[in-house]
Structure 1
Amino acid sequence: MPVAQPLHMSHHKSLMRGVPNHYRTMALKNSLHRGQSDNYHRLRPEAVKSNLLRGASADLSEFIWPKDQWPSLAHNDFQLAQELPTVDLSGLLFGSEEERDKTADLLVKMFSEWGFVQVINHGVPTEVTQKMMIQARNFFDLPLEQKEKGVASSSSKHEGFGYGVESGFYYAGKPWIDRFQCRWSPVCEIREPVEKVFSPSDAEEFSNSIESYNSHLDKLAMQILELCARGLGLPHDTFTKPFNGTAGDCIARMNYYPPCPLSSLTLGLGAHTDPNLLTILSQCKVGGLQVCKNGTWISVKPKPDTLVINIGDTFEAWTNGRFQSVEHRAVVNETEARMSLVYFSSPPTKSLIQIPEQLITAEHPLRFNPSFTWEEYKMYLFKKHVEGNGVKVAKDWLRRPATTSQN
């Protein structure tokens, strides 16, 4: 298969000429077919390339999404009246018990109302994050044929990880994104694919950077879980006890969104909720993350030394719906590349997740499976994505009564 060449900026202006009418017609013709190969369980033969580069036709029609999913809000349209709330976590280190209670209460309020929050004074050193961002950019700046050495084949034990992986979701269109991810825990598997891409010294520096960065996020994730329990009036180890002192089942991902000549007709990632427990995001200075609040899309303005944390489906179920796992997406733009670092936290696969009795009341009757494992939910997701169902049905299994959970 011939290797597609990167789209340089010199191509972008010419591609923009006459785009809307031509592409809208093609979008209607092809909307039933695009995205159907974004499977959860394996890499397609052409998936050795990024979503941006692999097999793209000259007119880029395969990247156009159905009209009803075209972004209505620009990547840098920040409306302060609807700004994502911010929580200061400095009280975790130096605050009194009263200050910790206030922080916990505020965090619970934000997760209940928004499902998302920005956190500052979170304990992740600025230099650690900056170094990881530099390493991520170094990776994506490599020639395509070099990055492809980090692809995991369908026969590899690392299948689903490495360079050019699928999103894990079935979208209505092909996402405009380049991506690398690795399993972070229970066993860190970053070094093997990286050593195929970089020289020994560069591979060591890259691996050390991602290990340092994610080690800080391990600690932060446990602190957030303890604060959530505290704010809900539960024993402090309610959400951390199943981890048994480990980081659980976690994935580290780097996302790169190149400048896009079709930014009004495509998405970097389509609207979805995260299936895991918690997601922690660090983004560069270019906007692109958008959160759906009461049916309205809100652009999240990047801020220095600020992390974005959101609730996943598993945590929504674990709290019997007290927390919200809300839709979010990534939009792209014509002129600036965007990068984000993503940490997906989940409990150990076989640990039992039980909804606390205190969260099942007359005011809040049982809405989700009272007990399940992360492994069971992942198996459901695997099955549904293979069958071609979209992200809208992701929570169905969690909402079912326990007696039908194996159906």
Structure 2
Amino acid sequence: MASLTLSSPSSVKELSDSITLPTIPQIFVSRIPEAPRDFEPIVEEEIPAIDFDLLVNGAPDERSQVVRELGKACEDWGFFMVVNHGVPAKLRDSMMDAFKDLFGLTAEEKGEYLGRQVLDPIRIGTSFNSQVEDVMYWRDYVKIFVHPVFHSPNKPPKFREISKEYTACTRVVGMELLKGIWNSLGLDDSQMGEALNLDSCFQILASNLYPPCPQPELAMGLPSHSDHGLLTILYQNGVNGLQVKHKGNWVHVKPLPDSYLVNTGDHMEIVSNGRYRSVLHRAVVSGESTRMSIVSLLGPNLDAVVEPSPHLVSIDRPLAYRGIKYGDFMEQQQSSKLKDKSVLDLLRLHVN
């Protein structure tokens, strides 16, 4: 199978910078213009927005209203915007610039992190998993494990300092959102924190780079997939390209200024016994602009066995998933081809 190596362009960024002809290598052709499923109608819909400040600082009645809105967003969409989140704009911009500098390092400087195992704490690559893919995706990525043990590449300068502050801030946002979600399900947030060992939650800091593509109609940044954790918190550079599956349609996401985009992951679907499903989403690419996103993914502790909450299992809603250790699930998902909910589907006991 073809893949990028250090003897050829080592990243999509390098390939994009070097292309002079209006074509892409065949290995990156993942869409067929004649195939209707590749070009399903894209609709415009209003994405739910959650006021984070009211969730954490509002009066009891205000917080209760936001909790209801949060539950409805999780149940109807699995996706929402978070406004008034309190993460400083300067810090977000600094994190974006630091990742931009990291992507700009030479292949030799990034070499120690290329082609490593899926559970290595720092990994830089192209596509999703080039070892098993039949086609490649127009995307470069960096994935860093930042909690409960903090890791950071040595370059660029100040990356460690910025990323440590940024991940701490987004972890606070994520944990408060999780408390609200547990409450919306009628669950005790302290018990959920203990069951999933969230004091030692697993957090990944990642960034995706989607350079300009000479044939965007043939390539994808990422195909339809769900995320493996509880929540994914995403911030992007102002170039849109995220699409979310909602009621059978792909919705083109246009976030509010300064907001975070948050989606529920596979383990939220497991814990909620299918009440709050993980959301399918994909990334399309542009022929003109570079899109960058920063992702903070929060999950249970890697050693936690995740299973449906007993309080959400009943005669009307029987047990829908078998339990699994979070680390085992993540390793299997990251080692496989990225396709819809293929790993989560293996855990289903029946369709709910």
Equivalent residue for 1:250, pick from 192, 199, 203: 203
AA paired with 1:393? S
1:227, CA displacement in angstroms? Answer: 0.3
Equivalent residue for 1:122, pick from 70, 76, 85: 85
- Is 1:341 equivalent to 2:290 in the alignment? no
AA paired with 1:4? P
Instruction: Give the equivalent residue in structure 1 for 2:47.
Output: 84
Cα separation, 1, equivalents of 2:250 and 2:329: 28
1:260, CA displacement in angstroms? Answer: 0.5
Cα separation, 1, equivalents of 2:56 and 2:270: 30
1:325, CA displacement in angstroms? Answer: 0.7
**Secondary structure class of the residue paired with 1:394:** helix
Instruction: Give the equivalent residue in structure 2 for 1:60.
Output: 25
Equivalent residue for 1:270, pick from 215, 223, 226: 223
**Radius of gyration: which is bigger?**
1
Deviations 1:355-391 (A, max 9, x none): 233312343222222x4431343355467x2xx6844
Q: Residues 61 and 87 (structure 1 numbering): CA distance in 2 closer, same or farther, change over 3 Å?
A: same
Aligned ranges 1:34-183 → 2 under 5 Å: 59-67=24-32, 68=35, 70-72=38-40, 79=44, 82-151=45-114, 153=116, 159=120, 161-164=122-125, 167=128, 173-183=135-145
1:138, CA displacement in angstroms? Answer: 1.8
1:129, CA displacement in angstroms? Answer: 0.9
Deviations 1:92-121 (A, max 9, x none): 343111111111111011110101111101
Deviations 1:36-82 (A, max 9, x none): xxxxxxxxxxxxxxxxxxxxxxx511100142463556xxx772xx1
Cα separation, 2, equivalents of 1:270 and 1:171: 12
8 Å CA contact retained: 2:223, 2:282: yes
Q: Residues 395 and 151 (structure 1 numbering): CA distance in 2 closer, same or farther, change over 3 Å?
A: same
Deviations 1:319-361 (A, max 9, x none): 0111011210000010000100011111112223342333123
Q: Residues 103 and 65 (structure 1 numbering): CA distance in 2 closer, same or farther, change over 3 Å?
A: same
Q: TM-score, normalised by structure 1?
A: 0.75
Instruction: Give the equivalent residue in structure 2 for 1:375.
Output: 327
1:397, CA displacement in angstroms? Answer: 2.9
AA paired with 1:15? P
- Is 1:240 equivalent to 2:193 in the alignment? yes
AA paired with 1:301? K
Cα separation, 2, equivalents of 1:172 and 1:108: 38
Instruction: Give the equivalent residue in structure 1 for 2:318.
Output: 365
**Secondary structure class of the residue paired with 2:289:** coil
8 Å CA contact retained: 2:91, 2:166: yes
Instruction: Give the equivalent residue in structure 2 for 1:2.
Output: 7
1:314, CA displacement in angstroms? Answer: 0.9
AA paired with 1:65? S
1:392, CA displacement in angstroms? Answer: 4.3
Deviations 1:5-29 (A, max 9, x none): 82456845x315xxxxxxxxxxxxx
Cα separation, 1, equivalents of 2:339 and 2:325: 22
**Secondary structure class of the residue paired with 1:398:** coil
Q: TM-score, normalised by structure 2?
A: 0.86
Cα separation, 1, equivalents of 2:163 and 2:172: 15
8 Å CA contact retained: 2:78, 2:276: yes
Instruction: Give the equivalent residue in structure 2 for 1:53.
Output: none
How big is the alpha-carbon RMSD for the aligned residues of Structure 1 and Structure 2?
A: 2.7
AA paired with 2:38? W
**Gap runs ≥5 in structure 2:** 1-5
Q: Residues 221 and 8 (structure 1 numbering): CA distance in 2 closer, same or farther, change over 3 Å?
A: closer
8 Å CA contact retained: 2:137, 2:222: yes
- Is 1:312 equivalent to 2:261 in the alignment? no
**Secondary structure class of the residue paired with 1:325:** coil
